[in-house]
Amino acid sequence: MAGFAGYNGQAFSPAGDKGRFVLPPTFRKAVKESSGGARTLCLAVHDKYDCLVGFGLSRMDELHEQLDKEEERAIRLGLTDFDPDVRAQQLFGFEQIPFDDSGRFVMPDHLKHLGKVEDGLYFHGAGKFFFVWNPAELDRMDASFKGAQATCRALMAKAKGGAK
């Protein structure tokens, strides 16, 4: 997509009224650019960590390419345990969630459960996608996440201080 440079930055968003969350402005702009102007957030469960990942609609082409590459690699290496159907459901099992001009969206209950979502979300850019963490789950991660953990704590403290 022209103008889409990937997802970067960090933000914290407390849960709002009526069970809604807010996609922070930086991520909102990038998702909209990646979705051809549509206000459509794609959310999926991370296949390794207890969090969610977010991205825009343009990632679908990348996911098709990724599946093809993984299948070709499995064939080339003789990996008989690779199941393209299982991998496809992992890659394409994301939800397409509309958001309004202010970034408000309602997260489906099953994603809240799978992402262990509670009363706030920490967003962390990762290039092709962004992580969406329950701060408590992020805090349980090892030292390789120390930068994200420190940023999350600082943003949460700022949000709490701003709410007073």
pLDDT in tens, 97-124: 999 999 999 999 999 999 999 989 999 9
pLDDT single digits (tens) 32-87: 999 999 999 999 999 899 999 999 998 888 899 999 999 999 999 999 999 999 99
Q: Is 16 helix (H, G, I), strand (E, B) or coil?
A: coil
The third-level CATH classification (topology) of the domain covering 10-65+94-158 is: Chemotaxis protein chec (3.40.1550)
Contact 107, 16 (CB under 8 A): no
Average pLDDT value over all residues in the chain: 92
Distance from chain centroid for Cα 28: 12
State the sign of the Cα–Cα–Cα–Cα dihedral 31, 35, 37, 38.
Answer: negative
How much is the pLDDT for 160? 86
pTM of structure: 0.87
Contact 69, 75 (CB under 8 A): no
Terminal C-alpha separation, the chain: 41
pLDDT single digits (tens) 130-154: 999 999 999 999 999 999 999 999 9
How much is the pLDDT for 17? 80
**What number of residues does the chain have?**
164
User: At 2, is the pLDDT very low, low, confident or very high (cuts 50, 70, 90)?
Assistant: low
How much is the pLDDT for 61? 87
Which residues, in sequence order, are bridge partners of residue 52?
A: 45, 132
Residue 4 has pLDDT above 80, yes or no: no
How much is the pLDDT for 137? 97
